[in-house]
Homo-oligomer: A and B are copies of this chain.
Amino acid sequence: MVPFGKPRGERADAARNREHLLATVRAMIAEDGPEKVTMDALAERAGLGKGTVFRRFGTRAGIFRAVLDDAEHRFQEQVLYGPPPLGPGADPRERLIAYGSGRISLLRSNHAVVRAAMDRSGTPAAAVSMSPAHIRMLLRQADPPLPHSDHLALQLAAALEGPLMLYLTSEEVAGPAGESDCGRLADSWRTLVERLFNG
């Protein structure tokens, strides 16, 4: 028998500290925005050592990824088990359109944190996103399945997330103007998907 009987889960104090750090960082984000969050300040405010912060989250970006995890997870649940058209039941085309507008508003409402989570080129944003996989699945379920579904899925994921991550600055996204912008982004996503499926 291999000596690794149990992976020995996270220790209780560690879990407590993680929660505490998450709460603290959320508070700091609410007060001054993510760009003002420094590791030292976070550690001090939480009353913990800097080493602890890094042990829990690995990198600065990791903290923001953890902050997003919640919202991300709720959304994913809607996608996997929720009611149509987002959840299963609707046809792939409608699901994909719904997925797009849901994802756009998710990204918009967390835009600053999303940006902070992709700082430093180490991890590509794929880690923050289940989009490529989900889109690929829907492309394959289409009748007839779309060609190049793997690469097409990457491109569609980028079409969805890229404008918010690559091309739009924070000011363009925040504020009331940004809302209508995102609405139009959802409209053009719909166009894109409809034409893609009709071809």
For residue A110, CB closer than 8 A to chain B, the reply is: no
Residues in B neighbouring A152, C-beta threshold 8 A: 188, 191-192
A119 contacts B118, C-beta separation under 8 Å: no
A120 to B118, CA, bound (A): 9
Per assembly, the copies of the chain total 2
Interface of A is mostly: helix
B148 contacts A155, C-beta separation under 8 Å: no
Interface residues on A, range: 35 or more
Residues in B neighbouring A159, C-beta threshold 8 A: 155-156, 158-159, 162
Partner of A191, one of B148, B154, B167, B187: B148
A161 and B163 contact, Cβ closer than 8 Å, known pairs A118-B121, A121-B115, A148-B184: no
For residue A89, CB closer than 8 A to chain B, the reply is: no
A162 contacts B151, C-beta separation under 8 Å: no
The proximity string for A residues 118-130 relative to B, scoring 1 for CB distances below 8 Å and 0 otherwise, is 1111001110000
A166 contacts B124, C-beta separation under 8 Å: yes
The proximity string for A residues 163-199 relative to B, scoring 1 for CB distances below 8 Å and 0 otherwise, is 1011111000000000001001101110110111011
A163 and B154 contact, Cβ closer than 8 Å, known pairs A118-B121, A120-B119, A198-B195: yes
Residues in B neighbouring A165, C-beta threshold 8 A: 166
B166 contacts A161, C-beta separation under 8 Å: yes
